[in-house]
Amino acid sequence: MKKIIIALSLFYSLVLISQNSTISPDEKLVYTATYNMSGILTDIAQVTMETSEVKTSKSTLLRLKCTATTYKKWDNFFKIRDLYESYVNPKTLTPYLYKRDISEGGYYKFMQYKFKPKDGTVQSLKRKKRKDGKTWDENKNLKVGPKTKDLVSTFYHIRTLDINKAKPGDQQSFTVLFDNEENVVTLTYIAKETISTNIGRKECYKLAISLQNNDILKGKNDNLLWLTADENKIPVYATFKIPVGNGELKINSAKGLKY
């Protein structure tokens, strides 16, 4: 189940620095995550993406928040209560603070990144629980590339890209910091495709996602993402294949969109 959540997160792992004219400060997207259990796609969790403004003493930041929660009937089997959030520059979506607080079937981990874009460094804090319930911390100073981002901010960055100019087969690689390691993700544009969703029929950009030097995502065109081919470019559907199975992410509702 942990690999399922990681795989879903990797659908949000595409980044390019650009100006944000797409993301509203009060947007809310709600999804259902399904997983193939004994040959049947089964709804297992709700994934919610929300944005909001946060004022500090020096500036106003945009908070990007993602939560993943198993439905009650699955809590006894494998209870998930995950929180991912990033605090970014509202115009460039450059991250300053990232937090990941996960609780999955008794497994707990907290990760925090403090980005220093001018220095190209990240202050990392990792907190885990021992079997006796006590926690221990690990602090590191990481050197990262100038375009390296966290999972959540990269999800929103992809929506600022001018995908309409892409041609089938066009590719772009990006770098994402996850568990204190930089991971290279490649995005391939496939085509435009109109699909039925819970928020209506949508013309979409169909994209394939692959991860270099990592076996979390399997197959060549099994990990796919559909973004609406409009100014909002919201993800409405995704499929993933991992070593222990496959699943989908389907949108349920979208509120507070900019356009």
pLDDT digits (tens, 9 = 90+) for 142-193: 999 999 999 999 889 989 988 998 999 999 888 999 999 999 888 899 999 9
pLDDT confidence band for 102 (50 / 70 / 90):
very high
Task: Note the Cα 50 to chain centre separation in Å.
Answer: 12
Residue 40's pLDDT is what? 85
Q: What's residue 184's pLDDT?
A: 87
Look at residue 153 and give its three-state secondary structure.
helix
Position 258 pLDDT exceeds 70: yes
Domain ranges of the chain: 2-254
Placement of tokens 């403004």 in the chain? 53
Helix (H), strand (E), coil (C) string for 55-96: ECCCCEEEEEEEEEEECHHHHHHHCEEEEEEEEECCCCCCEE
Q: Is 220 helix (H, G, I), strand (E, B) or coil?
A: coil
Name, in order, each residue with C-beta under 8 angstroms of 6's C-beta and a sequence gap of 6 or more. Answer: 216
Residue-wise pLDDT for 240-250, tens only, equals 887 667 889 99
Q: What is the pLDDT of residues 204-233, one digit of tens each?
A: 999 998 887 666 666 667 789 999 999 999
- Alpha carbon distances (Å) from 140 to 37, 88, 158: 39, 21, 28
Q: Which tokens go with 122?
A: 């990240």
End-to-end CA distance of the chain: 35
Structure tokens at 19: 């100006």
pLDDT score for 17: 39
User: Which option is the CATH number for 2-254: 2.40.10, 2.40.360, 1.10.3470, 3.40.120?
Assistant: 2.40.360
Joined tokens for residue 26 = 């009060």
Please name the amino acid found at residue 98: Y
- Cβ atoms 177, 114 nearer than 8 A: no
What does the alpha-carbon distance between residue 74 and residue 71 come to, in Å, rounded to a whole number? Answer: 6
Query: Closest Cα to residue 103, out of 85, 86, 124, 78?
Result: 78
- What letter would DSSP give residue 230? S
* CA-wise closest residue to 214 among 179, 249, 246, 190: 179
- Tell me what the pLDDT averaged over the chain comes to: 88
Three-state SS for 72?
helix
| Residue 179, Ramachandran bin (φ over 0: left; ψ between -120 and 50: alpha; else beta) | left
